[in-house]
A and B are shown apart, each in its own frame.
Chain A
């Protein structure tokens, strides 16, 4: 069921939610965009040029996963040795995610909740969040969602997708929550639908990259010991920038802290790129070689999660490409992996 929201209608809707203190959207933080609670529409930044953001193209620098998987979150407080779950999370409405982030949220739900045993923290946060996505009409040069099975106008993982057309937005619900939100708005007409379609095609047309995902999986299935990894990982400095800003990276550490006499157990983001990530108490480290850690990330995105839950976890958002201090581009890495395998075959 497609509805039409005039610009003013959307503004009213969002302002109503903002007045309740529940609206989160991308805002200008220094020279990039990140998530914050907003009280007025003027604070919202969806495209880089609007707020003279540098290097920020179309999706917020901070990934939307922070709403279901924040950088740190208290799991329990302790009363003696008895664990007491943290208090309820508040309901939030997140506006301005892109389809890539939506797809990432769907992956996180699949991995944390559907894939048993269920993670109650992620489940609770997702239930309490309403995700209003805004379709992408001008992808950046770092975007490649279509190369990994996604698209700039996809609804997967969102509650509502808004697609901008003349005069307003075409609104489509993906979930019951989304339908409730859009109830009361008039049905969209064919003209609006056609225009949204046209914009979608234009946006898709701007992303030329194609990856043979099936072949990539086959190559990765056999390519663990390929010499390509040592080469690709040379410039990598093994920081956590790519993993922390990746909307699907889900690894975490668990840490106990005593704060003003109260004992708490929290979980915090961790990265497979860090040396100590998999190091045993005995000192043995299965991934001591930095190239092994680099390989682990690429393998996880394009192979391991496919094996585990049947889904790629790279959504083509381009964040890792933009933030890598070493200038590493995962698209180049994938191309190199495929080329190396091809060369290996020819060389026989």
Chain B
């Protein structure tokens, strides 16, 4: 039985036995190469579930939307499962209310090319699941962004400014991110107003850098934001830099180990810091 067939069968069974009220997965959209999130509530509809390289969204994002409706089954790859771990650690969802259908992933493909986030993926297999659909996969991640790492801070600023100049502040990046769930985002604060709303590279930079920093130790580098951006901004560059610093400084990766809290929520005496001597 193929992975997809098994997924459909299990989804049908979970609904039939009323073990969950909705199965959160993927289905084909109206256009080739694009998929959508699927909210399967009727067992007959489980046949619409798909799983392939078109599955671009991080489904953990929708877990908060269906909170309170009952027990939810969710299809989770490596990155999605790590987002779920962070949500669990931050007490946004309850473990008993989520039934995780783990699947391995070989990367999202967008318009014929593997998504930049997936090229350097180190977690193709889920780190947490209630059952595994199909086998695990193993592949070597590419090293991406070598060029950027060689640039001086001023040069990096130029590169990033050129990117965020295109930002129209649609917040698609924020809205598709499972770990951006603040009821009032800092960009919408008014007393005091922290970020301007007009088209301004400086304000756009504040938004993107601050969002990346708010995600430090929490961003799983799934690339959903990068793929969501209608203006093609290289958002992975921001996320990857921050995740790299967290990895190098604290030896932690967001959501990789369910019993290891996010980097910025814990403190160890041996954490490197230069302030107190």
Contact = CB atoms under 8 A, between A and B. Distances in A.
Interface of A: 29-32, 34, 54-55, 61, 70-72, 141-142, 234-235, 237-241, 243-245, 253, 255, 257, 266, 268-269, 271, 274-276, 290, 321, 323, 325-329, 331-332
B227 A325 contact: yes
Contacts of B35: 327
Interface string B217-235: 0000000100110111000
Interface string B185-225: 00010000000111110000000000000000000000010
Contacts of B232: 29-32
A255 B183 CA distance: 21
B176 A237 contact: yes
Interface of B is mostly: loop
Nearest to B177: A237
A30 B111 CA distance: 14
Contacts of A276: 184, 188
Contacts of A328: 29, 36
B65 A290 contact: yes
B31 A237 contact: no
Interface in B169-189: 169-172, 174-176, 183-184, 188
Given A239-B228, A274-B171, A325-B228, A141 B196 contact: no
Contacts of A71: 168-169, 199
A255 B197 contact: yes
Instruction: Give the size category of B's interface with A.
Output: 35 or more
B259 to A, nearest CB: 30
B34 interface: yes
Closest A-B pairs by Cβ, 10 of them: A325-B228, A327-B36, A72-B198, A239-B172, A327-B29, A239-B175, A237-B175, A240-B170, A323-B230, A329-B30
Contact of A321 (B31, B39, B188): B31
23 contacts: A30-B232, A71-B168, A141-B31, A234-B37, A234-B62, A239-B175, A240-B170, A241-B172, A243-B170, A255-B197, A257-B196, A266-B197, A268-B199, A269-B168, A276-B184, A276-B188, A321-B31, A323-B172, A325-B227, A326-B176, A327-B31, A327-B57, A329-B31
A255 B190 CA distance: 11
Interface string B134-161: 0000000000000000000000000000
A266 B198 contact: yes
Interface of B: 29-31, 34-37, 39, 56-57, 61-62, 65, 111-112, 166, 168-172, 174-176, 183-184, 188, 196-200, 224, 227-228, 230-232
B171 A239 contact: yes
Contacts of B56: 325, 327
Contacts of A141: 31
Given A61-B230, A244-B170, A329-B29, A235 B175 contact: no
Contacts of A235: 36-37, 39, 62
Given A235-B39, A325-B172, A328-B29, 12 more contacts: A29-B232, A30-B231, A71-B199, A234-B62, A235-B36, A241-B172, A243-B170, A255-B196, A269-B169, A323-B172, A325-B228, A331-B30
A243 B156 CA distance: 31
A29 B167 CA distance: 13
A86 B57 CA distance: 43
Contact of A245 (B29, B31, B230): B230
B23 to A, nearest CB: 13
B37 A326 contact: yes
Contacts of A29: 166, 232
Contacts of A326: 36-37, 57, 176
Give the interface centre of B29, B112, B172 by most chain A CB atoms within 10 Å. Answer: B172
A159 B31 CA distance: 34
A241 B199 contact: no
A57 to B, nearest CB: 11
A276 B172 CA distance: 15
A106 to B, nearest CB: 23
B266 to A, nearest CB: 30
Contacts of A237: 61, 172, 175-176
Contacts of A238: 175
A280 B88 CA distance: 33
Nearest to A73: B198
A251 to B, nearest CB: 13
B168 A244 contact: yes
A244 B183 CA distance: 22
Contacts of B199: 70-72, 268
B170 A241 contact: yes
B191 to A, nearest CB: 11
A30 B170 CA distance: 18
Contact of A142 (B31, B171, B183, B231): B31
Contacts of B227: 325
Contacts of A332: 30
A344 to B, nearest CB: 18
A271 B168 CA distance: 12
Given A245-B230, A257-B196, A54 B172 contact: no
Contacts of A327: 29, 31, 34-37, 56-57
A134 to B, nearest CB: 23
Contacts of B200: 72
Nearest to B163: A30
A241 B225 CA distance: 12
Contact of B198 (A61, A142, A240, A268): A268
B198 to A, nearest CB: 4
B230 A241 contact: yes
